[in-house]
Amino acid sequence: HVLEHMMFKGTKRLAVGEFSKTVAALGGRDNAFTSRDYTAYFQQLQAKDLNKVMVLEADRMANLVLSETEFKKEIQVVKEERRYRTDDQAQGKLYEAFMATAFQANPTRYPVIGWMSDLEAMTYKDARKWYDTWYTPQNAVLVVVGDVQPAQVKTMADKTYGKVKPKTLEERKPQVEPRQEGIRRVQVKAPAENPYLIMGFKVPKLNNVLKDRDAYSLAVLSAVLDGYSGARLNRELVQNQKVALQAGASYDMTGRGPSLFYLDGTPAAGQTVESLEKALLAQVKKVANEGVSEAELARVKAQLIASQVYKRDSVFGQAMEIGQNLMIGLEVADIDRMIEQIKTVTTAEVQYAAQTFFDQDQLTVGTLFPLPIDPNKKDAPPKGLSH
């Protein structure tokens, strides 16, 4: 993430900040972000200017200037970003502690932005080493969506990225998470208006698009619980039982690391995180015991599939979806294959998922204990969050 910031600090032929100024002068916009699995750099602009930005990207892939002076300035920006997004955000602090509790050996436990101690100890040489190790065409995916011809894009790529000297990549060694053998709990005390609860079960993820039926069943189960405004958690826990102000469910189906099935919520007035925890688990248990009707399943799958298709409403959304899947080892065609697999999920499979994958020995629970909020605290985003 720090190197992502430094990638805008100039090359042997571009001054600091000139990359973005050049894109803006073309009428475009650019930015970048880092996830647990990859760092993405993107530009949105007219097709006629595609080659110009490919020249820029290839240049900073090969010729980045990493000065100690710029690093010292930018690391302060990153530290301020961390304070704003995590240290000063109660739920952000809880989520960080929650992930570090749920996972012990896998890198999934580490915050993307890094611990503050990491940032304080980091030097420009560390960023340089990461750049020299991983920034090379054979470790990157190029996605272009819009009014372009594939043959022309390939020619441009050959003339730009093709000229970047390849590197010998380090072998990625597997970091296998040991089996969890009991429920784990973590509590964070922080200034907040309300308590908050997050729960995560270690569950299977999608490895084989055509064979891993459990992943699709879990995705549909998540949608049964929280896939639309009238889904079970909102209807039962918020509207009917009034045990929660908000309740949700989600599932990480894809990714390089292990997956969690999340349940979360904010207790209603007069309720506790303990009562909300029981209520959330009871909703999963209800599906395990009673299943779902064909009518509910059809409605849920339609909503889930629609949400996937809506991602394609913009060229940016299409590029993001393609890039995300390619970076975790899937193919472009797998995007449609996954939708087709979701269509075939049965009520029996959803019930089986609820019966099978919610063993409390695989559960991690995080709770936020609210402290008084400082009325004088300012909550404005720091400068530099957008490159």
Catalytic sites, residue numbers: 4
203, 222, 235: which is closest to 102 by C-alpha? 203
**Which of 89, 88, 73, 79 minimizes the C-alpha distance to 16?**
73
Do residues 370 and 190 lie in contact, with contact meaning Cβ atoms separated by under 8 Å?
Answer: yes
Q: Which residues pair with 203 in a beta bridge?
A: 259
Structural contact between residues 64 and 11, judged by C-beta atoms closer than 8 angstroms:
yes
Q: Are 260 and 36 in contact (CB under 8 A)?
A: no
Nearby residues of 225 by Cβ (< 8 Å), 6 or more positions away: 231, 232, 233, 249, 263, 283, 284, 287
Nearest to 225 by CA among 176, 271, 292, 274: 292
Tell which residue, 225, 271, 224, 226, has the closest CA to residue 245.
271
Cβ(300)–Cβ(230) below 8 Å: no
Q: 279-289 b/e with 16+ CB inside 10 Å = b?
A: bbeebbeebbe
60 to 27, 55, 132, 161: CA distances (angstroms): 20, 9, 12, 10
- Is 358 within 8 Å of 288 (Cβ atoms)? yes
* Rounded CA separation 205/257 (Å): 9
Phi, then psi, of 370 in degrees rounded to 5: -75, 135
Q: How far apart are CA 234 and CA 385, in angstroms?
A: 33
Those residues with Cβ within 8 angstroms of residue 156's Cβ, 6 or more apart along the chain or in another chain:
50, 51, 54
